[in-house]
Amino acid sequence: MKTISLRLIVAVLLAGIGLTALVIASTYDIGSARRMGPGYFPVVLSAVLVLLAVAEGVTAFMKRAPESSSSKIDWRPLLAILGAVAGFAVTIALFGLIPAFFVVIGLATLSEPRYGWKPAAILAIITCIGAWLLFSQLLGMTLPLFRLGF
């Protein structure tokens, strides 16, 4: 059975990044080797990235290694953790630091089934108190603890 390996997918992704960067860079002024424009480095770099990624992709394709457990994606923790960070970003902009801590910790604990809301709440409270003591009291930083609307 032939499966598309994760290694190949990443190589294709990298080639895609390189190609996009190349297309964008081609709109910049390239200049000459003697008097380089802002586009010179990006064009060279993205072209090299595409070449390297293609080489890596070909190797990965030829190899057809059996999927080992280390090259599988764990969707649950991946989505939970990334969602937690994104949730923090949205919440701190809208409601301030304390709610943001509850959101980030709450979402992060979704990475495991049956984490339970009690330990999550306790962790969030401890983190809030610790952060408040450190940032607001000790360091005197002006972080918005609570805020409403934009």
Footprint on residues 20-59 left by another protein (CB under 8 A): 21, 24-25, 28-29, 32-39, 41-42, 45-46, 48-49, 52-53, 55-56, 59
Among 12, 125, 143, 145, binds another protein (CB under 8 A): 143
> Which sign, positive or negative, has the C-alpha torsion 98, 99, 105, 108?
negative
Decide: is 132 part of the binding site for another protein (CB under 8 A): no
Compute the half-sphere exposure of residue 25: CA atoms within 13 Å on the CB side of its CA: 19
Q: How many helices (H) and strands (E) are present in the chain, helices listed first? A: 5, 0
Decide: is 17 part of the binding site for another protein (CB under 8 A): yes
Decide: is 16 part of the binding site for another protein (CB under 8 A): no
Tokens representing 66? Answer: 């059996």
Nearer Cβ to another protein (140/146): 140
Nearer Cβ to another protein (3/70): 70
Q: How many residues touch another protein (CB under 8 A)? A: 74
Q: Looking at residues 71 to 100 of the shown chain, list those that interact with another protein (rule: CB under 8 A).
A: 71-74, 77-78, 81-82, 84-86, 88-89, 92-93, 97, 100
Nearer Cβ to another protein (1/62): 62
Report the distance separating Cα 138 and Cα 148, nearest Å: 25
**CA angle, residues 102, 108, 112, in degrees to nearest 5:** 130
Among 2, 118, 141, 146, binds another protein (CB under 8 A): 141
Number of neighbours of residue 133 by Cβ within 10 angstroms: 11
Which amino acid belongs to residue 4? I
